């Protein structure tokens, strides 16, 4: 189960909306071992694509150095799908390399309507996807 | 002296959980072959068909080796090598 604050959910959704129609991506880091997402870190999608995302390699190194120095880990790795549902694609699954992370997917496919904005979370371990419940709280 | 190699979480199963290991070689290709002798299986996760895997980033002293000589990049004692899988995906 992913437990996350409303403020972080709002930040992730706002980032996804801002970058639409390109895919948005980023991380919410938290203290190592805590499973508590705390620090919102929007990343640049180096692919600048509506169908693909990739963290810039220089930014990626900086991000991991910084998390290492602060004794953090990527608790949430999020990205948006801009034309399809918020479910991991085959590409997402084959490049998922953080078995400890919650992979959050938001879909901006419905930004023109008033339908539910999809915000879903998954574990992706060795190619296997498991959807999990998302609990949104005011504070931890 | 040796070359320090920082290992990402996903590959620590090959290094008994160690965050960093040491190796030797004149190029990255040689360094990864050297790591393979002690950490069986790690090389195939980084190298495929004699080239770096597309979605594995390797940095030599903070520089992405794709902007150097890729797998043939020269390395020397005292260098730091960092391996990080790309964070990537998409709807396709």
Q: What is the mean pLDDT of each run of 10 residues along chain A (140 residues)?
A: 97 94 95 97 94 95 96 96 90 93 90 69 95 96
Q: What pLDDT is stored for residue B77 in this prediction? A: 96
CB pairs under 8 A between A and B: 83
CA distance A107 to A13: 9
Q: How many residues does chain A have?
A: 140
Q: The complex's ipTM?
A: 0.90
Residues 94-133 on A with a CB inside 8 Å of B are: 95-100
Q: Does residue B20 belong to the interface with chain A, where contact is any CB pair within 8 Å?
A: no
Residues of chain B with pLDDT under 50: none
Q: How far is the alpha carbon of B50 from chain A, nearest alpha carbon, in Å?
A: 20
Q: What pLDDT is stored for residue A84 in this prediction? A: 85
Cβ proximity of B22 and B31 under 8 Å: no
Neighbour-count burial for A76-111, b at 16+ CB within 10 Å, e otherwise: bbbbbbbeeebebbebbbebbbbeebbbbbbbbbee
Q: What pLDDT is stored for residue A110 in this prediction? A: 65
Cβ atoms within 10 Å of B5's Cβ, excluding its own? 27
Q: What pLDDT is stored for residue B90 in this prediction? A: 84
Mutation test of the interface with chain B: which of A97, A124, A129, choosing the one with the most B Cβ atoms within 10 A?
A97
């Amino acid at each position: 189960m992913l437990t996350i604050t409303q403020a972080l959910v709002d930040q992730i959704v706002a980032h996804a909306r801002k970058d639409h129609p390109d895919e948005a991506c980023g991380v919410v880091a938290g203290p190592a071992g805590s499973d508590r997402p705390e620090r919102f870190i929007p990343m640049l999608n180096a692919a600048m694509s509506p169908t693909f995302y990739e963290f810039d390699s220089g930014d990626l190194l900086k991000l991991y150095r910084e998390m290492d120095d602060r004794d953090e880990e990527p608790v949430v790795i999020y990205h948006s799908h801009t034309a399809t549902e918020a479910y991991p694609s085959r590409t997402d699954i084959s490049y998922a390399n953080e078995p400890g992370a919650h992979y959050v997917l938001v879909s901006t496919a419905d930004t023109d309507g008033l339908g539910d904005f999809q915000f879903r979370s998954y574990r992706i371990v060795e190619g296997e996807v498991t959807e999990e419940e998302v609990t949104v709280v005011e504070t931890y | 002296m040796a070359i320090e190699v920082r290992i990402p979480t996903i590959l620590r199963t090959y290094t008994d959980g160690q965050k960093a290991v040491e190796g030797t070689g004149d190029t990255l290709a040689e360094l990864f072959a050297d790591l393979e002798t002690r950490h069986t299986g790690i090389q195939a996760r980084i190298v495929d068909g004699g080239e770096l895997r597309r979605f594995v980033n390797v940095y030599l002293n903070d520089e992405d080796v794709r902007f150097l000589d890729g797998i043939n990049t020269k390395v020397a004692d005292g260098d730091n090598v960092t391996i990080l899988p790309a964070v990537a995906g998409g709807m396709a």
